[in-house]
A and B are shown apart, each in its own frame.
Chain A
Amino acid sequence: QQQVKQSPQSLIVQKGGISIINCAYENTAFDYFPWYQQFPGKGPALLIAIRPDVSEKKEGRFTISFNKSAKQFSLHIMDSQPGDSATYFCAAMRGNQFYFGTGTSLTVIP
Chain B
Amino acid sequence: AAGVIQSPRHLIKEKRETATLKCYPIPRHDTVYWYQQGPGQDPQFLISFYEKMQSDKGSIPDRFSAQQFSDYHSELNMSSLELGDSALYFCASSLGGPYISSGANVLTFGAGSRLTVL
21 contacts between A and B (CB under 8 A): A32-B102, A41-B88, A41-B112, A43-B92, A43-B110, A45-B109, A46-B106, A46-B107, A49-B103, A49-B106, A51-B103, A89-B42, A89-B43, A93-B106, A95-B100, A95-B105, A96-B48, A96-B98, A96-B105, A97-B56, A101-B42
Where the two chains meet, the residues of A that have a C-beta atom closer than 8 Å to any C-beta of B are 31-32, 34, 36, 41-46, 49, 51, 89, 93-103
A-B contact count (CB 8 A): 66
Shortest Cβ distance from residue A75 to the other chain B in the assembled complex, whole angstroms: 15
Listed from nearest, the 6 A-B pairs whose CB atoms lie closest are A32-B102, A43-B109, A93-B102, A95-B98, A96-B98, A103-B42
Other than the known A93-B106, A100-B42, what 17 A-B pairs have Cβ atoms closer than 8 Å?
Answer: A31-B101, A32-B102, A36-B109, A41-B88, A42-B111, A43-B111, A44-B90, A89-B42, A93-B102, A93-B105, A94-B102, A95-B98, A96-B94, A97-B56, A97-B98, A101-B42, A103-B41
